Structure formats: C-alpha cells, structure tokens
Amino acid sequence: MGTMTIDGRKVEFTDEKNVLSIIRKAGINIPTLCYHSELSTFGACRLCTVEDDRGRTFASCSEEPRDGMVIYTNTAKIKKHRKLIVELLLAAHCRDCTTCVKSGECVLQELAHRLGVTNVRFENTREQWPLDFSSPSIVRDPNKCILCGNCVRACSELQGVGVLGFAHRGTNAIVIPAFGKDIASTECVNCGQCRVICPTGAITIRTNMDEAWNALGDPNVRVVAQIAPAVRVAVGDAFGLTKGRSVMGKLVNALHRMGFDEVYDTAFSADLTIMEETAEFLDRVKSGEKLPLLTSCCPAWVKFCRDQYPEYADNISTCRSPQGMLSAVIKEHFRDPEKSEGKKTVMVSFMPCTAKKMEAGLDENHTKGERDTDIVLTSQELIRMINNFGLDFASLEPEACDMPFGFGSGAGVIFGNSGGVTEAVLRRLSPDHTKEAMDEIADCGVRSDEYIREFSVPYNGIDVKVCVVSGLANARIVMDKVKSGEAEYHIIEVMACRRGCIMGGGQPTRAGDRTKAARTRGLYNADNTTIIKKSDENPLVLSLYEGLLKGKEHELLHINKHE
C-alpha cells in the first residue's frame, strides 16, 4: 500500500503487482507488447518504459511499486525511446500490412499509428523463414514474429503443453517448435491460445472460408450450418453491439442471406451429448469401471489427455462432441433420397474453437466412411464472412433457426461456459425441474470463478465427486493428483481454454476482463430466457430418439473407433 506520483498526480495503490498496473489505474494507457496479466512477466519489449524523478528509465511491467515513487510516462526521452523500439520492430518485420489477415487488429500496426512511426529507416536483414501450414488449426509466419514470447509462455504456462520455444540468438532469434519441427509434428493440441495472445499476424487461424464460399456457390450442394453456443455471445461486439449479448437470431438471418440452406443450433446436440454422457456416467458408476469419467466435448483436452495421460484414454467419454453429433445426425437425415433431393450435403460448423478444425478431420468423427463435419469456421472467420458479404449486421432482424434441429434447452446453451457441461448433467440427474431446483444446482459450486472447482452432489445415495477445470495447465494439476491417488472424482469436466469455449482460440481477440465476464453472463442470460431448462425435456431430442436415432445411437452419437 502506498502513494506514488504519476505525471504530477498522486495515485494510491494497494496490491497492484507492478508499476504498469498503477499507471493504467491512473488512466494512462502505456503501450505494451510482451506484458499479459495472466502470464509471467518477460520484460523484453521495453515499450512500457517510464522515467523517474532521477532520470532513471525502467520497464514498468517489471518494477515493483514503492511508496513515494515519482514517475513520468511521457517525457521527450521516453517518447523517442518508444518510437525507436517500434521502428526497429517494424524494420525486422514483414510489412505486407494491406494483405495481412491481422490488419486492423495488429498491436504493432496500432502502435506504429499511435506513436507516429511513419517511416522505417532501417533495412530488414533478418533471415526469411517459410510459413508453417502443417496444422489444421493455425498458421505460423515467423517473419511476422516480434519475439515478445507471449505464445511461448501461453503454451507452457496456461496450457501446460510447451511446444513453442526460442531458438538461436541475436538477430537470428526465432520462436519455433523444438528441433525445428513443424507444429503438426509436436504435441500441439490446436487450442489456438497462442494465436489469441499473439499481438501480430505471426500466428493466425488456418482459414476455410473459401471452401465455404465455394460450397455456397454450387447449385448441387445443400449447405447446412450449425452455430455453437459461445459464438453467439462473441460476435455482436465486432459490429458495435453490446458486449456478450446473444446475437443468435441475427446470425441465423446473416447465414440465410449468405445462402446457407438451413441453419441449426449446436445447443440441440449439446442436449444429445448430455443424454448420452449422463447414461454413460450412470453405467460407469454402476459398474465402478473407468472412473473418473472425463468429458469429451473439448477436442484440445481430448488430445492433451491422450498424449499426456494415455493410461486415462479409456476414461474419456466415448460421446462425440456436440459438433460431431449434430453433423452426424444431419448427414444421416439427408441420406434419405427424398430429403436430399439429389443434392450433396455440406456441413459447416461455426465454432469458438480452432481445435474443432482438427477434431472434424479425425477418423473417429466419420460415419459410413464419410466425414461428418466438412468445414469448420471460427467466430473470427464468421465475422469476416459477414463483412465480406457486406451485411449491415447490427440492423438485421433476428430469425429463428430451422427445424427439426434448431432448438436447444437452456442446459445446451450454457455448454459454452466452463462448468456448463457439468451443470447440464446435474440438471439431467435432477428429478425436479422447478426454478428452485435449477437455482440450487447453479449454486452448488459449479459456477464459481476458480479455474479448478471441486464439489460433491448427492445422487441416489452416493456423493458424486465432481471436478470442473479450465485451462490445460490446470488440467495437468488435477490429472497428476488423480494419478497419484491424492484426489478422487467421479467426473471431471475439462475445457482446454480458461473460462471455457467463450474464450476459445477462434474467438475475437483482445478480450479484457469485462468482455470475458460479459460473454459468460450472455450465455447464462440466454439460459434464463429459455422455457426448457433440461436436456431430457427438449421435445425435439426426445422425438429424434424415437425416430432417426432408433438403433443408431452408437453409430451417430459416439466416436467411431473402427473407421
């Protein structure tokens, strides 16, 4: 606790961990490239440098606050210093800004404008590296890397994977997977968190937009879309709408206008997931085998578990993810020649997640030898498609999803939040569907802000021990405890990205705490406005079990281990 003077004004501080935080609290937006509140402090870019009353300059992100400090944030010396840093970064950077996918969102580009860097006096003598297109989810362009190390720290500190690192020294320094491997040859889980945190275009989404446009332009193709819960609360922001507000109706309208023949809601198949996963869970509790049940909705987590904890691979639920289930069901629906009307069906899913691109290509998500989800597009790509088509998104009237797969219960919608799958399972297990019963479940600990939540719930005479975890580094902590016998659970829900799919690797970036909270709230609000709260009370789900799914539950809703 104490007081410091910043640009002549007294500012009190309490538990801020560095001078940078206090400067920001004082309303001064100091430029930064390598500082991120959720990562360790690296102190490499020096853009956050400030000056004290003795003329000493230091990086404010790496300096502990002290009572009585006198700081100047914008002296002539500091301004010159910052401008030179940006100029030097630009000198060693590919400057094809007009065609860079990150243009308009690039922090380096923004800083160049903001600091008035209009000319780069130095030549780019840096070695040029080939782009890495090996991943189905991300593209790495080392020529746009500014060596801030954010991706390196995110991969190891947030995700506990650590496939990226620094190699070489001085002007030859580069961020690259170990031994110069391409990213697909590593244990990369495709979560895309490196892309979320990259300030430039050095790591971007591997886009499939052109495939979608081609399908939409083909008269012999029926193009069917599904939209995941977390997408609806992340897109509106890009069009000036309230942060976190669900824009599902507008998205349905936008996709219909682009030419999608039918638009469905992934919350519907989230309900199917709950039906199947709850049944699987009860079976395992009865037999006492393969516990804890590990959830399977998140493909980055599934890959992480198979790579890092292969001895628990059989504990992973055999349920396909909601994306996989809905695509399999829709493809089966259109295998009926009367329904297909001679057209080929192309399934396009809109997901908050880059790992879904990887998941869709796995053999286990094929049915009858055919890929179920043909094209996976992220929220970020959806925003680009809306802009590309020229739609005035904010003014679009909401439209309802098509039927018969266009309605999900509230339980299906909250899947996008960490804890949502567990809450939906608990609703399913509850014999009651009153508001009081739903509120009681919401208050059991499943919605807390912690990245690791442990609680137990009584069910049929047993205390069901639950763990909800988000962020793979946190999943590693939990799995190590399970492995050593230190912790015991009946069910563990894991989302690879902290806070769940709302913060997935395919979502719009630069989301601060307000945006994160707004997205979470947006999904709970969407649940509040649904009349049906439980997956087992969704009439469309029940009639599907009576019709198309009869005898095909395993083929269409569980992973196919034999193809």
In terms of CB distance, is 52 or 553 closer to ligand FES?
52
Q: Which of 137, 317, 379, 470 is catalytic?
A: 317
Whether 63 sits among the annotated catalytic residues: the reply is: no
Whether 516 sits among the annotated catalytic residues: the reply is: no
In terms of CB distance, is 32 or 143 closer to ligand FES?
32
Site for ligand FES in 23-52 (CB under 6 A): 32-35, 43-48
Whether 40 sits among the annotated catalytic residues: the reply is: no
Q: Integer distance in angstroms from the first to the last C-alpha of the chain? A: 62
Question: What is the 3-state secondary structure of 174-234?
Answer: EEEEHHHCCHHHCCCCCCCHHHHHCCCCCEEECCCHHHHHHHHCCCCEEEEEEECHHHHCC
In terms of CB distance, is 46 or 521 closer to ligand FES?
46
Whether 359 sits among the annotated catalytic residues: the reply is: yes
Q: Which of 211, 280, 454, 553 is catalytic?
A: 280
CB of 30 to ligand FES, least distance (A): 8
Q: Which of 51, 63, 262, 359 is catalytic?
A: 359
Structure tokens at 279: 């049944």
CA 460, 461, 462, 464 torsion-angle sign = positive
Site for ligand FES in 422-451 (CB under 6 A): none
Exactly one of 59, 69, 106, 468 binds ligand FES (CB under 6 A); that residue is 59
E-strand ranges in 7-63 read: 9-13, 49-52, 57-59
Q: Which of 102, 250, 356, 533 is catalytic?
A: 356
CB of 219 to ligand FES, least distance (A): 53
Q: Of 443, 258, 460, 441, whose CA–CA distance to 348 is shortest? A: 258
CB of 62 to ligand FES, least distance (A): 6
In terms of CB distance, is 44 or 209 closer to ligand FES?
44
Asked whether position 259 contacts ligand FES by CB under 6 A, the answer is: no
Whether 277 sits among the annotated catalytic residues: the reply is: yes
CB of 134 to ligand FES, least distance (A): 30
* Displacement of CA 59 from its chain's centroid (Å): 31
Q: Which of 51, 63, 277, 381 is catalytic?
A: 277
**How many angstroms separate the CA atoms of 519 and 340, rounded?**
37
DSSP state of 155: I
Between the CA of residue 382 and those of 135, 212, 322, 544, what are the distances in Å?
20, 11, 19, 29
Whether 370 sits among the annotated catalytic residues: the reply is: no
**How many angstroms separate the CA atoms of 279 and 291, rounded?**
14
Whether 537 sits among the annotated catalytic residues: the reply is: no
Residues 6 or more apart in contact with residue 438 via CB below 8 angstroms = 427, 533
Site for ligand FES in 100-129 (CB under 6 A): none
In terms of CB distance, is 42 or 415 closer to ligand FES?
42
Whether 280 sits among the annotated catalytic residues: the reply is: yes
* Displacement of CA 185 from its chain's centroid (Å): 22
Give the active site residues.
Answer: 277, 280, 297, 317, 356, 359, 364, 501
Interface with ligand FES by CB under 6 A: which residues? 32-35, 43-48, 59, 61
